[in-house]
Amino acid sequence: MKRWIYVGVAAVIVVAGFFGFRAFQSARRAAESTAWQTVPAATGELVSTVGATGTVRANQYSLLAFKTGGNVGWVNVQVGDQVSAGEVLAELSPSSLSAQVILAQADLVEAQRALEDLRTSDAARAASQLALAQARQAYDKAQRRYVTQQKGNRGTQETINATEADLAYAESQVDAAQDAANRVSNRAEDDPDRTAAEKALYDARHARDVVQASLNWYTGQPTAIDQQILDAELASAEAAVKDAEREWERLKDGPDPNDIAAAEARVLAAQANLELPRISAPFSGTITSVQVKPGDGVSLGTLAIGVADLSRMLVDVQISEVDIDQIGLGQEATLSFDAILGREYHGQVTEVDLVGVSEQGVVSFKVTVELSDAEESIKQGLTAAVNIVANKVEDALLVPNRAVRVVNGQRVVYILRQGQPVAVEIELGGSSDLDSQVLSGDLKAGDPIILNPPLVFDQNGPPAFFRQ
């Protein structure tokens, strides 16, 4: 009796142990399954960027200084004003200028007059030389026309013989065309053969008339009126040559080139002296600073007015040599500023230096990005964080970078299949800060990617979980 009791107890223990082990295994798998952090593989746009920081600058900027000493007479601008290239921005008081500067206007007038006198003489010389050449050309043309129009000069005997042969052939063509037309003359007027024959006869007669006219001209001579015109044309051309020769003799020596160069130099020097008391805008732009006011005493080189071309706002960044191959003209970029919170701006790459600069053993290249939506709040000198879009891939299969591991030199991701993590070898393409493109591998959109895969696998069972 006791024996059966023991057997029953043992059976109960075995059954309980079996179900307990099953429950333990199920609980373990459930715990492991719920411990994996997963995200589904997805398709989407992959944007690869190269980031750097730089400083905002204007397209052009200049801090202008006075070129001589004196007292400021007036300042014509204030910060924020728009100015045009060449516009006078400030000027020194005439009473405070040196005698050299005061006399600059008189010196300029005198130098310009002297140069104009020389240039006028030189221009007249050039015009006379051209007129003589044209007169001689016209005389040669009139002389050739006169000679060729005379009897016996209109054509050589060889030309006349050839033209007579052409005329004989043209007459034979007329005769042949006439015979053809006669054969169909009794047909209706709209008969195609009759129409073609009549046209052929017309063309043959016209060709004969042209050859006859040429022969008449070759063997003829000018009429009395034509001869009078030829005589007058030749005499007029000869007289024009003589007049042009007399004018050239009067002007041919002209001014000395050295005198011209010296006069031009004196004009430039006088103009420079005249501009000494003025500050003018070197280009169109916006006044960014005014550091003087009327009455201030200044000396040569005193900084006075800043002007910038703010029509284009640029950011120069240094890109490492390992990334510069990804950068090209026209690429889009996003920009953000510590001084402007919550806003993102856009731009394009407009310049990429061809030569790198080495600093402390690191080679980098200057890349310029132009803002396309700059606002007044973006000022010169602001620090900008720039992200240049190096590549865009549409409909890419993406996995999170944090899920990618390297096992035996091969990139893998772990996915959940039937509740168990499985390593899948993959080949990656481009990457962004968060995701990478999968080029190949046993992976599809929707597969659950484990973000916290195991660090160690048990040889005889599921992977040991080490990351919570």
Q: Which of 304, 302, 301, 282 is nearest to 293 (CA)?
A: 304
Q: Where are the domains positioned within the chain?
A: 1-35
CA angle 32, 35, 40 (to 5 degrees): 110
Q: Write down the pLDDT at residue 222.
A: 73
Structure tokens of 15? 């059954």
Lowest-pLDDT range, 121-125, 209-213, 226-230? 121-125
Q: What is the pLDDT of residue 5?
A: 52
> Parallel, antiparallel, or unpaired for β 88-92 and 285-290?
unpaired
Residues pairing with 349 in the sheet: 369
* Pair 440, 427: CB distance under 8 Å: yes
DSSP string, 373-434: S--TT--TT-EEEEEEEEEEEEEEEEEEGGG-EEETTEEEEEEEETTEEEEEEEEEEEE-SS
**Separation CA 400–CA 412 (nearest Å):** 12
8 A C-beta contact, residue 437 and residue 430: yes
* 369 closest CA partner among 61, 52, 62: 52
Look at 124-138, 244-258, 324-338, 396-410 and tell me which has the smallest mean pLDDT: 244-258
Which residue has better confidence, 346 or 9? 346
Q: What is the mean pLDDT of the chain?
A: 82
Residue 256: its pLDDT value, please?
61
Per-residue confidence (pLDDT) for residue 24, from 0 to 100: 44
Question: In the predicted model, is pLDDT for residue 8 greater than 60?
Answer: no
Tokens coding 426: 């993959």
Segment 361-381 mean pLDDT: 93
Residue 411 confidence (pLDDT)? 92
Helix (H) or strand (E) holding 278: strand 278-280
